[in-house]
Structures are given as structure tokens and as C-alpha cells.
């Protein structure tokens, strides 16, 4: 069977931070914090690691080991937590991929999810 199952054996000894399953990691503290809120709203207890490092500004150094990350408190929540995050990330990338809108006033390109022109602040939705 190999060694792949060994990390799960620690489960019987109780919850320890280093055996918890990580579901999300990002250099951007606000993003990790957003995911934490999202999961907690869904009733999934999570723990943020490296939070103090993140808020102290040390993540200006791009070392992934120091990035804030989220772990599920209960292993059985892992797949649910992951699907919530996955759904959110897909929504996020869909909005980034939204076709751009050209402002009718100043002809500047705007991302598809913008309501107002970044350049002249015209209402993009009123374009007809």
C-alpha cells in the first residue's frame, strides 16, 4: 500500500495543527480572509495559519510557506470546503473573463463586470 496513508494515522491522536488539511493558500491575506468568512458562513469551522505573519507584512517576501492559509478543523469537511472554494474561484475567473465593454462616452475598454467607466465614470449599463 505504500506510505501514502501514514499522515492520516495521526487522526486518532487528536487534532494537531500540523496534521490538519489545508484547503486554501494565497499570498493575499484579504483573499484568505474572504475564504474563511465564506466557509464559516457555510458552517465549516476553519483555522487560519500564518495570520500573524501575514498581517505583519512579512509576506512581502514571496515565500509560499509563509503565506496565510486555511485548514479545515474536521477532516470530513474537506471535500465540502474544497467545493465551496472551487465554486467561488470559478465565479471569480468567470467575471475576469467577462467580455470587455467599450465606454460609449470616451471609447475606453472596461472589464465586463464594471458598472461605471474607470476613465470618465459614465454609466456603462446605460449604453444603448
Q: Which is nearer to Zn ion, 93 or 119 (CB)?
A: 119
Task: List C-alpha distances in Å: 108 to 28, 60, 72, 123.
Answer: 29, 33, 44, 13
Crossing angle between the packed helical segments 29-41 and 78-97, to the nearest 10 degrees: 120
Rounded to the nearest 10 degrees, how much is the dihedral formed by the CA atoms of 59, 63, 64, 67? -20
Site string for Zn ion, 72-111 (x = CB under 5 A): -------------------------------x-xx-x---
Which listed residue (120, 123, 125, 127) binds Zn ion by CB under 5 A?
120
Count of residues that interact with Zn ion, criterion CB under 5 A: 8
Angle (CA) 25-96-63 rounded to 5° is 25
Q: Which is nearer to Zn ion, 92 or 127 (CB)?
A: 127
C-alpha cell belonging to residue 83? 467545493
> Under the criterion CB under 5 A, does residue 122 sit at the interface with Zn ion?
yes
The distance of closest approach from Cβ of residue 105 to Zn ion in the complex, given in angstroms and rounded to an integer, is 5
Q: Which residues bind Zn ion (CB under 5 A)?
A: 103, 105-106, 108, 117, 119-120, 122
Amino acid at each position: 500500500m505504500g506510505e501514502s496513508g501514514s499522515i492520516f494515522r495521526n487522526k486518532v491522536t487528536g487534532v494537531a495543527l500540523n496534521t490538519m488539511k489545508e484547503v486554501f493558500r494565497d499570498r493575499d491575506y484579504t483573499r484568505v480572509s474572504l475564504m474563511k468568512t465564506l466557509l464559516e458562513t457555510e458552517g465549516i469551522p476553519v483555522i487560519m495559519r500564518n495570520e500573524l505573519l501575514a498581517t505583519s507584512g512579512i509576506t512581502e517576501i514571496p515565500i509560499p510557506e509563509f503565506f496565510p492559509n486555511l485548514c479545515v478543523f474536521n477532516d470530513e469537511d474537506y471535500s465540502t470546503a474544497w467545493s465551496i472554494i472551487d465554486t467561488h474561484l470559478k465565479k471569480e475567473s468567470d467575471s475576469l473573463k467577462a467580455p470587455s465593454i467599450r465606454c460609449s462616452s470616451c471609447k475606453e475598454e472596461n472589464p465586463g463586470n464594471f458598472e461605471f467607466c474607470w476613465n470618465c465614470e459614465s454609466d456603462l449599463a446605460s449604453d444603448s
